[in-house]
Structure 1
Amino acid sequence: MKTYYNKIFTVVITFIGLTFISSCTDDLNITPEDDQTILSEELFEDENAYKEVLAGVYANLSLTGVDGAGSSNIQGLDAGTSQYGRTLVYLQTLSADQMIWSYENDPGVREIQRNIWTSGNPLFYGMFGRASASVAFANDFLRETTDEKLDARDVSAAVRADIVTYRAEARLLRALAYYHLMDLFGKAGFVTENDPVVTNFYSPEANRAQLFEFIETELKAIEGDLMDPMTNEYGRADKGVAWMILAKLYLNAEVYLGTDRYSDCINYCNKIIGGGYSLAPNYLDLFKADNNVSTATNEIIFPLISDGLTTQNYGPTTVMINGAVGSIEKNGVSLGVGEGGWGGALRVRKQFADLFTGGAFLTDTRNTLITQDRSDIITDISDRDEGYIIAKYSNVGSTGTPGVDQTFVDTDFPLFRLADVYLMYAEAVVRGGTGGTIGQAVTYVNMLRTRANNPQAITVTDLTEDFILDERARELHWEAHRRQDLIRFNKFTGGNYNWAWKGNASNGIAIPAHFNVYPIPSNSLATNPNLTPNPGY
């Protein structure tokens, strides 16, 4: 699937050019960088094109353009500020208590990690634009695969049978994009394949409740057309991915809607757990260069693809592995990249490091902090020698073989994995959801601790909300969950919990409640008169 991604993304550039003209410009008001077009009818003369174009929809999650890792197919967005997974990590992780980026002259980074952002931040436009592009790609695929279009092209019965599944996957990818837009921005321009493809079409605005209803309805509607869990090609979506998005929706429903849906969350967690997934025997194998072929694949429910040869991109794993190389240690070779990496670009904040203090965490394999000759306090963000570094992600395989490139890594980003499901189940039970038991919740948490070689098993009395929040950080750090988790526990805005450099203060200060959603990007407001600013911005 990795090689397939890049090959297909290049093959369908002509279709993508058309997609951006017919969908992004008109549906979502994003300007294409590439103006190459070809009649879609010519493209679809080969029935293999349907799967190829579907791969193009997937590729938008990893690639930014077709002229190398530094290219972007959306005008005004460069590769560094518009890669799907990278901007997701910035907005979910860099804005919270786990990560610090040393080079604050990089566009948008300073404002994100100090919680002093405005609507003009380019990283907001990058995430909003890239997610909107996913919607546009999916919409065009669905427009090109209607029964009427397939009849007119006399598509064979065998391919038409596959297209039923392809269409379900495209709808799932669109739902995933809307899920991220809903979670991060609280609203979005809303458009489907049924909307007109005309010049100057401005997508209407959908609020959180409307997006929630659409995502929920859509995922339930396509479930029967998706492949069973773990039966699709690696990197493609199946029922398990749909269930995961639904479980996430329900876990966060009180934030999104003010409504308790914890029992529904448990129901979908049970579906996933019964889907055949299993924990990888070794925690760190989940974050290595061969996590697409090792036992990690039994745990990873949905990855964002990265490959040092065929899908080179400045995505989350390339950034986190190169960035995690210490300025003092120059330990890049052990992580499978250049000796000096990116010169100490990434470190961790003290509040995260404190979660691994104590004897129980000395052997915990989730504790990859490198602390020697370093303080845990960062008083000057530009001083790359301050603060601990981390070695969670690696461009070295589980057998010790490094990736094929020393900059662009082979390590896929585990967007969804089974360990998260176990912790969601536990949290939903503790919060009063039905359909699960506290005993089973304890068992799931202890399975993660046993896998991590942590000798401290928990009991029912240990399983509190505060414990779950901390355990989620220990298990899932740098996987683009932390901001969402802190909001759900009422610890992101306000002063209930402060961390280093929160609110632009070295020891952390309260930030306003409206920061629980990001502002609609000013560029998006300027190009779509139907979009309105979020309150407070």
Structure 2
Amino acid sequence: MLRNIKSCSILLAGLLLSGSCTNLDEKLYDRITSDNFLQTKADVIRDFLRPFEHSYWSIQGGSTFMLQENSTDELMTLNRQGDWYDGAQYQRVHYHTWTPNDNYTSDAWNALYQGINLATNSLEDLQGIQDPGKFNLTQAELDDYIAELKTLRAWLNIRVLDLYRNMVIVTKVKGETQSGPQVTPQEAFDFIEKELKDAIPALPTRQDLGTNAIGRWTKGGAAALLVRLYLNAKVYTGKDRFSDCATVCQDIIDGKYGTYALESRWDAPFDYNNSQSSETIFGFPGSFGLTHWQYSSDMYFWMMPYQATRYLGFTDFGEANPKYALQPGRDVDSVEYSFTMGKPFIKFQRYPDDFRLKKYKNLGNSKREGMFLYGYLPYVNADGRTDTVRGNKGPYALFLRDQVGMFLNTPPGTKISDKESNMNHGDHNSGVFPLKYPYYPSNDDNKISSAYAEIRLAEIYYAYAECKYRAEDRPGAASLLNAVRTRNYPAGSPSLYKADGSQLTDQEMLDEWGREFLVEGRRRTDMVRWGVFHSGTWWDKKPDADDHTTIFPLGQNVLNASRILKQNPGY
């Protein structure tokens, strides 16, 4: 369907090289218009691609990743002996005591709406083209660009709906000087659904785009967004759409929107060559020399101890940072907590033959094993001697554990007298660290080359399984889950669910979502859908007083900029 794909990819690389656009006050309608900018085909393609760069940044920019993970039973940002206290802002996220004056409540809104405005601006430009032949474009090519921009905008709109619920629908930015009115969640849902359904006929398939499909919205990508919309419809609008969700899931699996297939290795969807993976439905292209936002300081690079880069042999970015770690499953005496929520590492250990449970280790030749950093992390220092990763609060070696406390230089297995364990009382030994995307050594040609897999076929299988489970079809749910899970365990593993699905419960379904999609920026959404985000108990977290915390407040900075926006209920 689409010509000049190679040209698009080259232009996209150039745009990504420029980095994130973080000026949230930019007046887009004063910058680009079809009258003074679109003169050549290259101009049109640049205009088309500009919103994609910002959208890639938005997977973590504006605190989006932090809010989706730190507010849940999965990740934590501890006060580590004074590090990461930051005015207790992360503790307020953990305890659900945020206020409109916390900047991140404005940052996420602004980050997503800047992407929406960019997409809308480009849409206005391209929809204003009366004669595509003037730009050496066919009508089909122009229609595809427009459909992709609508799909990108829908992806951003779904995220606003998910975080804030009461949102503004933007369809015009040129000449506009203030925000439009908020619409009801049902109106927003209907707008997004229609936009996706209207876009699908004009979109290419993954096969149409070939090796350049990464970073481009396709029929499969738009259909997958409908899956997300329908799966969470009851939360968003009060109306159950699980049947519609199941139908679209089956269509995607059957190949109606393009051909996809699950990978046979657990780590393949995240590896350096995942841009060509048959499991990637939509992803953002990443590379060491250009843009790689999932490897940034607001996401995975700040999800390991400072000196962990020495253990990994990757030193190009300097030292890492332990901003994020998994919440603990055990108290300071190594006794498992009694609550059922959280305890993410223990949830993996429930199935002890899981390949992912191995300690992360680079094996050479762009290969690795394991998904977690724990215990001692040895490396060879500049003097050629074996050394061990240490923290910044003392000379002792760190022993990373599934606990939070002041362990300091206490050897593993030795009990400490200080039994306190909470968000304000942890050291640099505290917490296990997940490494989902590989950090290959600095001398590896494929270091920091993974695309960010925003939508994987595994998600469609899990969404379909949830629909079947809710419809009392446990065998069907178990079969779908096992289709993905089989790659996590040895052949013949007893860890696969029984064919009758008898092991599946609400909690197990939520736990399995957590295992497969650990630290992929969706945990809050899943917990809200299962009704436990505000009512559950997990480490250092008691149930909320009511359910108003299932959405965030509009930040005070956002409200100050618009007289017509109204604050969300409960704030």
Q: What is the TM-score normalised by the length of structure 1?
A: 0.81
Counterpart-to-counterpart distance in 1, 2:9 and 2:90: 29
Counterpart-to-counterpart distance in 2, 1:424 and 1:56: 31
- 2:427 is matched with 383
- 2:373 is matched with 370
- 1:174 is matched with 153
Residues 235, 305 of structure 1: 8 Å contact kept: yes
Code of the aligned partner of 1:116: T
- For the pair 1:355 / 2:347, whether they are aligned, the reply is yes
Code of the aligned partner of 1:62: Y
Counterpart-to-counterpart distance in 2, 1:481 and 1:347: 16
CA separation of 1:154/1:181 partners in 2, compared to 1, >3 Å: closer, same or farther? same
- 2:96 is matched with 115
- 1:401 is matched with 444
Distance apart, 1:362 and its partner CA: 3.5
Counterpart-to-counterpart distance in 1, 2:224 and 2:566: 30
Counterpart-to-counterpart distance in 2, 1:199 and 1:54: 20
- 1:536 is matched with 570
Residues 330, 340 of structure 1: 8 Å contact kept: no
Show CA shifts across 1:21-46 (max 9, x none).
xxxxxxxxx52189994664342111
- 1:94 is matched with 70
Distance apart, 1:121 and its partner CA: 2.2
- 1:341 is matched with 319
Distance apart, 1:473 and its partner CA: 0.6
Residues 13, 290 of structure 2: 8 Å contact kept: yes
Corresponding residue SS for 1:48: helix
Counterpart-to-counterpart distance in 1, 2:298 and 2:60: 13
Counterpart-to-counterpart distance in 2, 1:216 and 1:38: 28
CA separation of 1:332/1:183 partners in 2, compared to 1, >3 Å: closer, same or farther? farther
CA separation of 1:472/1:44 partners in 2, compared to 1, >3 Å: closer, same or farther? same
CA separation of 1:335/1:220 partners in 2, compared to 1, >3 Å: closer, same or farther? farther
- 2:337 is matched with none
Distance apart, 1:411 and its partner CA: 3.1
Distance apart, 1:332 and its partner CA: 4.7
Q: 1:280 aligns with which of 228, 241, 263?
A: 263
Corresponding residue SS for 1:150: coil
Corresponding residue SS for 1:361: coil
Q: 1:515 aligns with which of 549, 554, 571?
A: 549
CA separation of 1:338/1:158 partners in 2, compared to 1, >3 Å: closer, same or farther? closer
Code of the aligned partner of 1:500: W
Corresponding residue SS for 1:174: helix
Counterpart-to-counterpart distance in 2, 1:229 and 1:106: 46
CA separation of 1:432/1:245 partners in 2, compared to 1, >3 Å: closer, same or farther? same
- 1:527 is matched with 561
Counterpart-to-counterpart distance in 1, 2:227 and 2:176: 38
**What are the equivalent positions in structure 2 for 1:209-248 lying under 5 Å apart?**
209-232=186-209, 233-248=213-228
Residues 548, 569 of structure 2: 8 Å contact kept: yes
- 1:60 is matched with 54
Distance apart, 1:269 and its partner CA: 0.7
Q: 1:414 aligns with which of 453, 464, 481?
A: 453
Residues 336, 394 of structure 1: 8 Å contact kept: no
Code of the aligned partner of 2:93: I
Say what the alpha-carbon RMSD is for the aligned residues: 3.2
- 1:505 is matched with none
Residues 221, 282 of structure 2: 8 Å contact kept: yes
Code of the aligned partner of 2:323: A
Code of the aligned partner of 1:215: I
Distance apart, 1:230 and its partner CA: 4.5
Show CA shifts across 1:397-448 (max 9, x none).
9x993555xxxx4333222111111111111111118xxx644432221122
Counterpart-to-counterpart distance in 1, 2:313 and 2:482: 29
Show CA shifts across 1:200-228 (max 9, x none).
34311122111101011111111101112
CA separation of 1:186/1:167 partners in 2, compared to 1, >3 Å: closer, same or farther? same
Q: 2:124 aligns with which of 124, 143, 156?
A: 143
CA separation of 1:362/1:535 partners in 2, compared to 1, >3 Å: closer, same or farther? same
Q: Which has the greater radius of gyration?
A: 2
Q: What is the TM-score normalised by the length of structure 2?
A: 0.76
Q: 1:266 aligns with which of 241, 246, 260?
A: 246
Code of the aligned partner of 1:177: L
**What are the equivalent positions in structure 2 for 1:124-203 lying under 5 Å apart?**
124-146=105-127, 149-151=129-131, 155-156=134-135, 158-193=137-172, 197-198=174-175, 200-203=177-180
Corresponding residue SS for 2:458: helix
- For the pair 1:453 / 2:489, whether they are aligned, the reply is yes
- For the pair 1:467 / 2:517, whether they are aligned, the reply is no
Counterpart-to-counterpart distance in 2, 1:511 and 1:366: 36
Counterpart-to-counterpart distance in 2, 1:6 and 1:108: 36
CA separation of 1:12/1:120 partners in 2, compared to 1, >3 Å: closer, same or farther? closer
Q: 1:443 aligns with which of 444, 458, 479?
A: 479
Corresponding residue SS for 1:365: helix
- For the pair 1:302 / 2:296, whether they are aligned, the reply is no
Counterpart-to-counterpart distance in 2, 1:12 and 1:384: 32
Distance apart, 1:512 and its partner CA: 3.4
Residues 11, 52 of structure 1: 8 Å contact kept: no
- 2:384 is matched with none
- For the pair 1:323 / 2:302, whether they are aligned, the reply is yes
| 5+ residue gaps, structure 1 | 21-29, 64-81, 503-507
Counterpart-to-counterpart distance in 2, 1:105 and 1:149: 49
- Give % identity: 23
- 2:364 is matched with none
Residues 94, 100 of structure 1: 8 Å contact kept: yes
Counterpart-to-counterpart distance in 2, 1:501 and 1:400: 42
Corresponding residue SS for 2:41: coil
Residues 115, 156 of structure 2: 8 Å contact kept: yes
CA separation of 1:107/1:178 partners in 2, compared to 1, >3 Å: closer, same or farther? farther
Counterpart-to-counterpart distance in 2, 1:475 and 1:183: 21
Distance apart, 1:181 and its partner CA: 0.4
Distance apart, 1:345 and its partner CA: 2.7
Distance apart, 1:393 and its partner CA: 2.3
Corresponding residue SS for 2:453: strand
